[in-house]
Structure 1
Amino acid sequence: MNAEKRLLKVEEVRRIVGEDRLGRDAAYALARRYGVKLGKRLLVPSRVVEAILEGRLEELEKTPRGEAWGR
C-alpha cells in the first residue's frame, strides 16, 4: 500500500484486500461506516485498510470515531 496515500477509493480498497475476499457491496458498506464523503466520492482512510489486513477492525469498532481518526 502506498504510505503517502491517506484516503483510498472503494475499488482500491478491494484490490488491496483482495477482490475475492471483499465484495463490492461489502466494500461500500465498509466505506459508508468508516469512510468519508468528499462530494460524491466515498473514500476510506488507509488506517482502516491496515486494520482489516492486520485483523484489528474490531478495535476500530470499540474506539470512538474522533479517537480512531486522530481528531
Structure 2
Amino acid sequence: MHTPLLYTVSELRALIGHERLGRDVAYQLARRYGVRLGKRLLVPRRVVEALLEGRLEELHPAGVGGA
C-alpha cells in the first residue's frame, strides 16, 4: 500500500482524529511545518509521524534550518 509523502489538513485531522485535533490547530501546524503548493497547504509525513509520536518539538518549522 502506498503511503503519501504529503497530507492535506483534512487528511491530517482524519489521521489524528477530528475530536483530538481541531481545525484551527491543524491549520496552525500546517502553516508552521507544512509546504504550500499553489493554493494547497500540505503537511509532510514526517510531521504527522512526529505528532503521533509526541516529538513535534524536535522538528524545525518549514523553511528554517534544515532539509
Where on the TM-score scale, by shorter chain, does this alignment land: which range?
Answer: 0.7 to 0.9
Partner residue, 1:20: 19
Q: Give the match's secondary structure for 1:4.
A: coil
Partner residue, 2:8: 9
Question: Over aligned residues, Cα RMSD in angstroms?
Answer: 2.1
Tell me if the contact between 2:36 and 2:42 (Cα under 8 Å) persists in the aligned partners: yes
Tell me if the contact between 2:30 and 2:43 (Cα under 8 Å) persists in the aligned partners: yes
- Normalization by structure 2: what TM-score? 0.86
Higher helix content, 1 or 2 = 1
Deviation of the 1:4 alpha carbon: 2.8
Name stretches of at least 5 consecutive residues in structure 1 with no aligned partner: none
Which runs of 4 or more aligned residues in structure 1 lie more than 4 Å from their structure 2 counterparts after TM superposition? none
- Normalization by structure 1: what TM-score? 0.82
Query: Aligned AA for 1:10?
Result: V
